Structure 1
Amino acid sequence: MPLTVRDLLAIPSLRLHLVAGGAGLGRVVEAAHATENTRPASWLEGAEVVMTNGLLLSADDIDCAAYVDQLDGGKAAALIVGVGSGLPLQAVPTALIHHAERVRLPLLVSPAGVPFASITRAVFVARASEERRLLERTLRTQRRLSAAAASSDGLAGLLSSWFQATGSGVAVCDAAGRLLGAAGTDGPTLLEDAAPVIDTVALHGLRGSGGGDLACGKVVVQPLGTARLRGFVVLLDADSAEARLLISVLVSLLSVELERRHLADEPQRRRRAAILARLFHPDITAEQAQALLRTADVPSGAVRAVAVQASGEPVELAADLALAVPGGLARLTGGTVELVVAEELDTSAVLRRFAPGRPAGIGPAVAPQHAALSLRQAVALLSSSVELGRPVSAAEAGSVRLLLSLGSPATLAAFADTVLAPLDAADPDGELTETLRVWLETNGSWAESSALLGLHRHTVQNRIEKVARLTGRQQDRAEDRVDLWLALTARAVGLPCSPQRK
């Protein structure tokens, strides 16, 4: 147990006695510091026993109050005043006793025959003994944790041993956030509460760690894995000295356990890759496709294929994505990881965590027997993903915005400015431009445009005719209308605009 003021008071050789602040005897003592400074707060780190002979200490009530508040503000553990023959103080000032009692600061008296060095030495010896006992307990607990990790109980035994030794609740999840085991706490609830912290730690991989005070208590989150991220451990209220010393041991043992599980899952990953190959067969029937999905525990409704360009460690990337998606339907083909996932899965979120920065194509949702068709479209989108630097889905593949974003920003900006420059000069308030945009979006409907703009139909017609005169693009020519629409859209997607339109 840590040294407290009560323990210090009980050491016979020091002959200390309490005169005030008995309510604070349970305060932990980390050090002893002798000083005659009457403003010691800035020199304290907390949990120190402050010792003074009262050389500069006034018996005035205001001065005593200020001095005690300084000690309280510096989180001192106690105040020891030396009194007696040959010392500045023959007795502790009454005002000092009063104010120490006010803030519950233990105030102890040291007789003249006991040097402060003896008190300092006693604190040091007690702290050293406690640290030695803590180290011995930690080593015994470390051996128990190692034995539990090597036993047939595996993860469950390791987590149970941790909780029994430290009293700290613990939960372990895989890299996708799925619970693998817990002890001393409700695992699903703890993971749900700590999800924002886990997401933040995940951004930094094995180099990250995090924590915070949550509704469930104080949590610490550490990543698990040796070479790659395999999961996370969440610790609840791991504040004891023993727990803090053992966290690194627990992380190491859990990392080894998750690596062992990863290797043991290799046959399962090969089986899922074989299922995926059968699902992509061109002659598969609806019944066969649904049966394969049921085998992989994937909902047999609409599915979509995903293609991710792999580099560096493609096998590991395929394993990571197989772990991340329900059903684990993933395989490595050449330099591409191919997946099939249920339509409702947030594919973009999976790619952000497990394949950040990698080109990826997301195919359309299709019936299971048409998964190969979705895959072809996903693979075809990889080149667009390389250009854009982000995953591209089939839903946006045919959009004008995607086509515009693939072009050179400078070229597209020049095109937009060339088409719209006459309007920029003649229409500083943007009335003509806004009318043109609404008119094009309503497919040239005068009635709908006037209703949306709150203008008379003739006003809309006059403005569109003025646009035609200024730009040289006629309202009845499809090619001219497309030019105007593309120019407006190029600016809408965030390309550099002309100085007049900033």
Structure 2
Amino acid sequence: MSELTPPTTAVPLSSLLLRTDLGLRQVAGPPADEVSVYWVHTSEMADPVPYLLGGELLLTAGVHFAGNEAAGEPGGGAAGGSAADGAGTGDSGGYLEHYVARTVEAGAAALGFGLAPVHDTTPPALVAACDRYGLPLVEVPPRTPFTAIARAVWQAMAEARHRELRRITEAQQGLASAAARPDPVPAVLRQLAHHLDARAALLDPRGAELYVAGHSVTAEVHTALTALAAVVRPDRTGAPASATDTVGGTRLAAYALAGGGPGEGSPVLVLAAERRDFREQAIAAMAAVLLSLLTGPYRGAGDERRTAALVRLLLGGSPDEVAPLLATASAADGTDPHWTVVHARRRGAAPIASPPHGAERRREAELRDALAAGELAAALGTPLVDADGGTLRALLPAGREVTARPGWTLGVSEPVPAGGLPTADAQAAAALRRAVANRAGLDRHRSPRAGFAALVAEEEARAYAVARLAPIADSAALTGTLRTWLSLHGSWDRTAVALGVHRNTVRQRIARACALLDADLDDAEVRADLWFALRYV
């Protein structure tokens, strides 16, 4: 399968053959239970390579076979190809030989050949070529439209996805229950090993096993796990949060547990399993977060005060009351009392303006948010992660470096004391919008230069801003769109990408804001005036 194959849930080809409503019949190639289908693509092109990503069930009625050697006419004219396409002038079946070879080269999972209206039977040369190249060939009866096959694959994918999500939910419930037991760490490892059919171990900073669960491994795998744990060891500056490897068909993974810092020597979670897929990664990420929480209380004298701060917030305390507790907690264990806020969004995902309709869709969205939160927590090395409408927010100690993460777009605030977290949250949100608009993996808050703003007292500037922007003050959409549009130099497209809306929506909002503010945004002085005011609201 091609490296470009989209990360969809695979459907066994055998499951399609078992459906009596489709009436499919395999006539060539390896056993169907060994073949996985990721997509369905219909094409009558003579050369399918430019149009396939890999993993497809390629469907064709053989329109381009007519007149070629596939019909048993050596030297026939090429309706869908030529001698340059691989059809020899005297070699019966040469055209189809080339066609099958190119289909295999493109990474297609299988070939579906539709009977009628062009061919009454599957060409013997096509059957022979598929057998030679190991390409599964499925015969599609005349009564079965290609769209029915595509629909069957999408349905099977959706069902498989739901099954995976249910398994993840069950695993998460098992892990959460294990974390509440008297011996939580070994209990969590046992649940993790059970759900992944793997060996799970917690290693100390020297590589010794603190707790082990699951099946045994060879000495070679054991050595490789220890080496992999050293790669993600939290006391190494700039070490990745996770790493993977393969030894003799066994997939290995190591996760640095959150909360450790330079010299602290936090433990590392390692896994060895025969399979590694979406389900394993999601479950392992949650287990890493749980184990971080379970092992964290023993790493610093200030944790008791941080817990007290959290409890005080939950009981209605204000951030101003909690800030001194966090400051004294940092002083107790000698850490930086400042914090960094990170906003994150999965690459290609748009912000969710409203919750999805339907109870099942809402539950699936909540589950996806929880899985994403666990994955980001493990990547950043902090359990303090919250999901909010497709955007995740994380809080981590200022001394911890934040780098770009594959598959994520990040916005990072400047370090602030606990009392400045609301400001840092706004900084991270703005940085994320810039990163999305510029298609960058990460953007950081840029401290504004003093400039002319320093000549005006903050109280006066704030009063001016409130009065100037009063006509749109009640509309977060208008205020946010105007701020983003100005920050991106009036680019409609980049503003639309940053906000996750259509460019026409941006135009309508800007036009509405201009009308309410009685502002001409073609005037540079007006734009500067509004940008100045927006800094204080």
Q: TM-score, normalised by structure 2?
A: 0.46
Q: Judging by fraction of residues, say which structure has more helix.
A: 1
Greater gyration radius = 1
